[in-house]
Chain A
Amino acid sequence: TQLLEQSPQFLSIQEGENLTVYCNSSSVFSSLQWYRQEPGEGPVLLVTVVTGGEVKKLKRLTFQFGDARKDSSLHITAAQPGDTGLYLCAGPNRDDKIIFGKGTRLHILP
């Protein structure tokens, strides 16, 4: 069974600090997506990474796909309270179903 494991589960840091969260699997994925979800709302797509080693930037967020396409990371520079939310990684499994990790719940303290 292909699984996506996200770490840490919870992260609480001060505004202005940097942080990195991880999405790992023992399986190769053709692509990985990152979403942010706020309480009571649906996930919002942030980025898709497709090529091994790919780096994509979205303002203060930097996403990287591992060379072997088994893992991905999200780095946030100078975190702000608006970054608070549940960060989910997802990808298509061998049966072409999209599977999600359990997410990293991020809380930025003002």
Chain B
Amino acid sequence: DTGVSQNPRHKITKRGQNVTFRCDPISEHNRLYWYRQTLGQGPEFLTYFQNEAQLEKSRLLSDRFSAERPKGSFSTLEIQRTEQGDSAMYLCASSRRFAEQYFGPGTRLTVT
């Protein structure tokens, strides 16, 4: 059990560019979650996978956001045409038991 890993840890991009983040969950966990966290706030739910199926998607996730989890293992979160308002920490979590989530270190996105 090596924990949840996320790459990259930091990403600086110019407005309008596309970015992709990767999350590798704990191997025996079938549930995977993406959250966004801004300064002074708790994590906000974005989307959730059970195995490879994307079961839930928040209204926060505009059409510019897409997430995949091919083969039910790692997951990617892509943001197209980034905007300054997308600057945040993007957190990935995995779980075996519902509600008890194990988080990765996050990817901090800065859009200039």
Contacts and interface: CB of A to CB of B under 8 A. Distances in A.
Interface size class of B (residues with CB under 8 A): 20 to 34
Interface stretch (A65-73, A76-84, A98-106): A98-106
Contacts of B92: 42
Interface of B: 4, 6, 33, 40-45, 48, 56, 58, 91-93, 98-106, 108
A62 interface: no
A35 B33 CA distance: 16
B102 A45 contact: yes
A107 B81 CA distance: 38
A88 interface: yes
Interface string A84-97: 00001011100111
Contact of A31 (B41, B91, B99, B108): B99
A92 B43 contact: no
Contacts of A109: none
